[in-house]
Amino acid sequence: MRLIGKLLALPFVLVTGILYLVCKFLVVISGAVLGILSGIVFLAALVLFFTAGFWPGLSWLVIAFLISPYGLPMAAAWLVGIIGDVNSALKDFVFG
């Protein structure tokens, strides 16, 4: 019975392993691109503070934070870590 469970879990190990690698690659690339973009948005927010007022500048600072490597890419990295943990647990079940 345990062999049947391992055979049924093997496709999930393969799918989660491939999904983990693809997501990890995308997180690394998006973090680099969005880091540069968030610097540009931050500079635009500083200009908006002096030209348009406090609230437009603050809203653009929030957008700059969300696209910075500590905003949404960090949440994506957290989710990729969860996928990696699930993949590791499935590998331990199948091959352990």
Whose CA is closest to 48, among 40, 91, 31?
A: 40
Domain that holds residue 43: 28-86
pLDDT at 69: 83
Question: How many domains does the chain contain in total?
Answer: 1
In a domain, 61, yes or no: yes
pLDDT at 48: 92
Is residue 53 left, alpha or beta, with left meaning phi > 0 and alpha meaning psi from -120 to 50?
A: left
pLDDT at 23: 84
In a domain, 3, yes or no: no
pLDDT in tens, 30-85: 888 988 999 999 999 999 989 998 999 999 999 999 988 888 888 888 988 898 89
In a domain, 2, yes or no: no
pLDDT at 6: 82
Structure tokens at 56: 């437009």
CB 32 within 8 A of CB 73: no
Q: pLDDT grade, residue 12 (50/70/90)?
A: confident
